[in-house]
C-alpha cells in the first residue's frame, strides 16, 4: 500500500481473503493499493475519494464527523417521504445546499428526506445509480463531512434521512474495483454485469456498506434500488441478510425496496418494512394523460385506481404522484402540472399507502428532471447517448433529435429546481392534504364507488369523503355542496 509516508507491505491473512499491515498514518492521509502488476488502485471500500474515481483514497473517520448525532427514527405509520437529488435540489448542488431548505420541508409536512444515491460515481453530476465507490460520499456533493452535516441538520429539523443505495451492479469505471476480485458475474442486468453475491466477500462488501451508513452516519433508513435485478440463490437472500443485520444494529431503521410490480418477496420473505409500488401511479397517470404505451398498457379505467386504494396493508407500499423514475425516464423529463398533479397527489397522499413526494412537485415545478450523465470515457459517453435515444425509438411522438443528450451540461442544468419559488396556492394545497392525512386511520379506503362514464371516483378514508374527477369538465355534485374543498 502506497501512503504519503511511504510504501507499506501487506501480508495475506490465513483465510486468504484479506491482507493486513501496520504502519504510520492517520485521518487525512491519502493512500492507494499497489497490485502485483504494479498498478495503483483506490481502496474498493474507500470512505473518501476527493479526486473522484481515479484519485487516491483518503482516510476519514465518519463516526467522528457525526459524534453526538443520534438517529431520528420515523415510524412507518408516520412516514411521509420527500425524494430529492442533491445535485439539482439547490443552485449549489451540494449537501449544504439541501440544508437550507430543510425547515420548509418540515413545515410542508414531510417526515423524512430520501436522498438519491450519493456514492462516488464517474464525473461531477449524474443520477447516482452508477456508483463505483459505495462507501464514499460523492466529492462534488461535499464528501463525508458534507453528508454528516446534512444528516445532523435534518435530525435537528425533526426529519429522518433515508439513503438510496445500489447493490445490483457497479457503474462505469468499476474496473478499478473489479481488479481486487470477482465482484461481478457474466450475467447482465439492464445497467451492467450483475453482482457476484455467491462470493462471501462481495456479500460483505454490500452488507457492511449498509451497516456503515447506519452506524457511522446515523442514517434512519435505506432504500434498496431494483432488488429484482439481484440474483442470489443462497439459502438466505443477500437482501434478507442485509435487512437482518441492519435491524440487529437498530430495529427502528427502515428498509425499503424497489421491486417489480406484483413481487412481494421483500416484505413477505426478506423482512423489509415497505416497498415501492407503481400500480397506483400508473392507474392515475393513464387517466390523466391518456398515455397507454410501454408499462402503461393495461391501465385506463377508474376501477384501476379504486382497486389500488383498497389494497390491504397499504402502509407497506410506497406510492406517489411522481418520482425520479416516472419523470426522469420520460423522453424529455416533463412533469405532471397544475390540476393533473393536484389530482394525482390527492389520490396518493389520501391513500393508505406510504406517500412520497418528488422534489419540486409541492410548488408545481415547471422545470424538467432529465436523464444526465458526466462520463469521462468517450466510448461510454457514446453508448449512453445512443442507448438513451434507442430507448424511446418505439414510442410515438419522439424523434431522436428531440431526446436530450445526457452528456450535454445543459441537460443537467435544465434539471435544477427553480430557486425562486414562494408560498403558492399549490403549496398550501399540499400542506392541507398532508395535514388531513395525519388524522386518518391506518386502513384502506372504504365505500368506493366508480362511475366509468363520468370518470368519477368516490371513496371514504376515515371521516373524510373523497371525490376525484378524472374528466376534463365540471360535473354535478363535484365538489359536494358541503365540506371543505381543496381543489
Phi-psi category of residue 470: left, alpha or beta, with phi > 0 → left and psi -120 to 50 → alpha: alpha
Nearest to 355 by CA among 277, 427, 407, 286: 277
For residue 62, what are the CA distances in angstroms to 1, 24, 28, 59?
22, 20, 12, 10
258 is catalytic: yes
What does each C-alpha distance from 402 to 139, 295, 428, 457 come to in angstroms? 32, 21, 35, 36
Q: Which of 43, 225, 232, 364 is catalytic?
A: 225
Q: Which of 310, 317, 320, 412 is nearest to 357 (CA)?
A: 320
For Cα atoms 54, 60, 66, give the angle at the middle one, nearest 5 degrees: 130
Sequential DSSP letters for 313-342: TGGGEEEES--HHHHHTSTT-----HHHHH
Whether 225 sits among the annotated catalytic residues: the reply is yes
| Burial profile 276-309: b = 16 or more Cβ within 10 angstroms, e = fewer | bbbbbbbbbbbbbeebeeeebeebbbbebbbebb
Query: What does the alpha-carbon distance between residue 22 and residue 477 come to, in Å, rounded to a whole number?
Result: 77
Other beta carbons within 10 angstroms of residue 338's beta carbon come to 11
CB 93 within 8 A of CB 124: no
Peptide bond connecting 87 to the previous residue in cis, omega within 30 degrees of 0: no
Q: What is the secondary structure of 139-161 as a DSSP string? A: GGGTHHHHHHHHHHHHHHTT-EE
Cell 419559488 belongs to which residue?
421
The Cα–Cα gap between 55 and 41 comes to 8
The residue from 43, 114, 258, 365 that is catalytic is: 258
Give the residue numbers annotated as catalytic, written as ranges: 225, 258
Amino acid at each position: 500500500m502506497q501512503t504519503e509516508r511511504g510504501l507499506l507491505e501487506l501480508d495475506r491473512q490465513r483465510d486468504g481473503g484479506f491482507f493486513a499491515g501496520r504502519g504510520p498514518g492517520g485521518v487525512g492521509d491519502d493512500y492507494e493499493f499497489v497490485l502485483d502488476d504494479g498498478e495503483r488502485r483506490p481502496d474498493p471500500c474507500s470512505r473518501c475519494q476527493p479526486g473522484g474515481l481515479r484519485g487516491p483514497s483518503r482516510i476519514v473517520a465518519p463516526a467522528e464527523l457525526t459524534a453526538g448525532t443520534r438517529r431520528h427514527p420515523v415510524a412507518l405509520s408516520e412516514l411521509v417521504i420527500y425524494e430529492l437529488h442533491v445535485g439539482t435540489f439547490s443552485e449549489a448542488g451540494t449537501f449544504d445546499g439541501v440544508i437550507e431548505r430543510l425547515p420548509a420541508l418540515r413545515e410542508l409536512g414531510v417526515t423524512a428526506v430520501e436522498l438519491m444515491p450519493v456514492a462516488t460515481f464517474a464525473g461531477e453530476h449524474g443520477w447516482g445509480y452508477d456508483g463505483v465507490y459505495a462507501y464514499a460520499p460523492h466529492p462534488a456533493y461535499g464528501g463525508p463531512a458534507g453528508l454528516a452535516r446534512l444528516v445532523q441538520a435534518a435530525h435537528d429539523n425533526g426529519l429522518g434521512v433515508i439513503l438510496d443505495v445500489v447493490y445490483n451492479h457497479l457503474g462505469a469505471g468499476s474496473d478499478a474495483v473489479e481488479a481486487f476480485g470477482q465482484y461481478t458475474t457474466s450475467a447482465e442486468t439492464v445497467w451492467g454485469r450483475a453482482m457476484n453475491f455467491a462470493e462471501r466477500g462481495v456479500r460483505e462488501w454490500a452488507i457492511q456498506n449498509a451497516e456503515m451508513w447506519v452506524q457511522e452516519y446515523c442514517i434512519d433508513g435505506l432504500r434498496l434500488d431494483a432488488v429484482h435485478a439481484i440474483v442470489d440463490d443462497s439459502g438466505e437472500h443477500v437482501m434478507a441478510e442485509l435487512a437482518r443485520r441492519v435491524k440487529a444494529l437498530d430495529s427502528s431503521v427502515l428498509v425499503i425496496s424497489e421491486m417489480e410490480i406484483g413481487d412481494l418477496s421483500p416484505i413477505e420473505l426478506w423482512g423489509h418494512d415497505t416497498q415501492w409500488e407503481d400500480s397506483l401511479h400508473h392507474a392515475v397517470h393513464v387517466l390523466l394523460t391518456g398515455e397507454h404505451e410501454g408499462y402503461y398498457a393495461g391501465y385506463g379505467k377508474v376501477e384501476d385506481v379504486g382497486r389500488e386504494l383498497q389494497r390491504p396493508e397499504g402502509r407497506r407500499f410506497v406510492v406517489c404522484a411522481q418520482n425520479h423514475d416516472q419523470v426522469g425516464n420520460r423522453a424529455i423529463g416533463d412533469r405532471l402540472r397544475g390540476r393533473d398533479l393536484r389530482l394525482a397527489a390527492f389520490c396518493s397522499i389520501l391513500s393508505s399507502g406510504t406517500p412520497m413526494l418528488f422534489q419540486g412537485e409541492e410548488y408545481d415545478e415547471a422545470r424538467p428532471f432529465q436523464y444526465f450523465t458526466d462520463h469521462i470515457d468517450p466510448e461510454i459517453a457514446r453508448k449512453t447517448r445512443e442507448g438513451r435515444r434507442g430507448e424511446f425509438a418505439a414510442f410515438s411522438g419522439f424523434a431522436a433529435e428531440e431526446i436530450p443528450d445526457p452528456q450535454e451540461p445543459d441537460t443537467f442544468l435544465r434539471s435544477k429546481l427553480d430557486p425562486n419559488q414562494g408560498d403558492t396556492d399549490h403549496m398550501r394545497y399540499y400542506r392541507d392534504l398532508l395535514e388531513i392525512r395525519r388524522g386518518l386511520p391506518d386502513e384502506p379506503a372504504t365505500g368506493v364507488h366508480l362511475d366509468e362514464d363520468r370518470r368519477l371516483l368516490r371513496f371514504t378514508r376515515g371521516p373524510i369523503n373523497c371525490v376525484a374527477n378524472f374528466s376534463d369538465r365540471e360535473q354535478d355534485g363535484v365538489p359536494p355542496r358541503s365540506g371543505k374543498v381543496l381543489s
